[in-house]
Amino acid sequence: MQKRLISLDIFRGLCVIGMILVDYPGTWETRFPIFEHCAWQGITTADFIFPGFMFIMGVSMVFSIKSRLEKGISKNKIYSKIFTRGFLLIVIGYIIELITQDVGHDFSTIRLLGVLQRIGIVYILASLLYLNTNKRYFIVVNIILLLLYWAVITLIPVPGYGKPNLAILPTPEIIPNLAAWIDHVVLGNKVFFWSKPYDPEGILSTIPVIGSVSIGILTGNFLRKNPSQKNVIKTLSVSGIILLIVGLLWSLVFALNKQLWTGSFVLVTGGASLLLLSVFYYIVEVKHIEKPFLFFRYYGYNALLSFSLVAISGGLLYKIPVGDMSLQDFLFNNLFDSWLPEIHASYVFSFAFLFVWAIFFRFLFNRKIAVKL
């Protein structure tokens, strides 16, 4: 039986913690650049978090599916489990939108897609691809998908605009790329409010995300072969460097862009994920140094639960009124902004939010309570 990879739990927890620090500040008005996503083209530290999640999901998927196959569970039952889990992820994502988005009784603008919805959709697609191809065809299909996405989004004229221009940020008045146009036509007002007319977890841009998960799947397959620890470090590191180089070269003609999830973005963030996993693997699995990373494991052990509860509580802070302001503003103004410079008060609030939830997740971790779908 394959042992649980503690290094993967730590990496997963780091991604959850990064998400909290990026998405739940004390105020959106004043923040350090490290907590900001890139507005359009380019990449920031915050932009590595979501593809890190997808990479980890791919690694974990291999361990889960392979263990079922080894137990003699039929493919039909595995398919059923895959579709059920993917559907539940989509439903949970939609429930979070219903709870946290300020729509009142008007559901015409409720966001249909989101982080968990994208995770659920890609989980299903990547799982089916993995189960029905060998390693060679799995790699070939992924390369074709990335190249096809590149061709579609750079060569097909955009209705009402003409030749695509990926350098321009879409606006309601100017929609210069096909991904934004499809979101606008199909989703309409049901996109993320702050990014209209497109959705950062949109329809067409979900296709290359399969590539991010597939890098994780290939990594998981490699780790399951139980190679020597020295070989693991070497292979993960070299593979990560190669992907980074190829991705950076590709970015010269297909710019790094998280919103469009370009092929160069897939390779650069996949390479970074491999390198970071190799570092954690060396420290934790080889050198057996775990205690400094225990805080990360609290979140990584219950990643889905922590993501969901943090998202719901973070949204509700803005919806619960306290006098003439929200509970979010009340807590921030009175507990943090009253004695700290605003730019520091914002991230200190995030860390406080993080540590409060850590008490609960530490309780679950210490009792080995893991909530899974």
pLDDT for position 367: 94
Rounded CA gap, 373 and 364, in Å?
Answer: 16
Domain range annotation of the chain: 6-366
Cite the beta strand spans of 93-135 per DSSP E. Answer: none
- Window from 242-246, 251-255, 340-344 with minimum mean pLDDT: 340-344
Q: What is the pLDDT of residue 2?
A: 55
Structure confidence by residue, pLDDT tens digits, 65-104:
998 998 999 999 999 999 999 999 999 999 888 888 765 5
Summarize pLDDT for 105-135 with one digit per residue, the tens: 566 778 889 999 999 999 999 999 999 999 9
Mean pLDDT of 175-183: 97
Check pLDDT > 90 for residue 29: no
3-state helix, strand, coil in the chain (%, to 5): 65, 0, 30
Coil, strand, or helix at residue 133? coil
Scanning 156-228, the segments in alpha helix (DSSP H) are 178-187, 209-224
Mean pLDDT of the chain, nearest integer: 92
Give mean pLDDT, residues 344-355. Answer: 93
Interatomic CA distance for residues 22 and 36, integer angstroms: 7
* Element at 101 (helix H, strand E): none
Write the pLDDT tens digit of every residue in 32-41.
Answer: 888 899 999 9
Phi, psi (deg, nearest 5) at residue 182: -65, -45
Q: What is the pLDDT of residue 1?
A: 43
pLDDT over threshold 90, residue 167: yes
Q: How many CB atoms lie within 10 A of CB 274?
A: 25
Choose between 13 and 323: higher pLDDT.
13
Strand partners, 326: 321
The letter for the amino acid at 146 is L
Long-range CB contacts for residues 78-83, cutoff 8 Å, separation at least 24: 78/131, 79/128, 79/131, 82/123, 82/124, 82/127, 82/128, 83/124
Q: For the ranges 154-163, 217-226, 227-236, which has the lowest average pLDDT?
A: 227-236
> Which helix (H) or strand (E) element contains residue 80?
helix 75-100
Banded model confidence at residue 343, pLDDT cuts 50, 70, 90: confident
pTM (global) more than 0.85:
yes
- What are the counts of helices (DSSP H) followed by strands (DSSP E) for the chain? 13, 2
> Tens digit of pLDDT for each residue in 257-286?
999 999 999 999 999 999 999 999 999 999
pLDDT number for residue 7 = 94
Residue 344 CA to chain centroid, in angstroms?
26
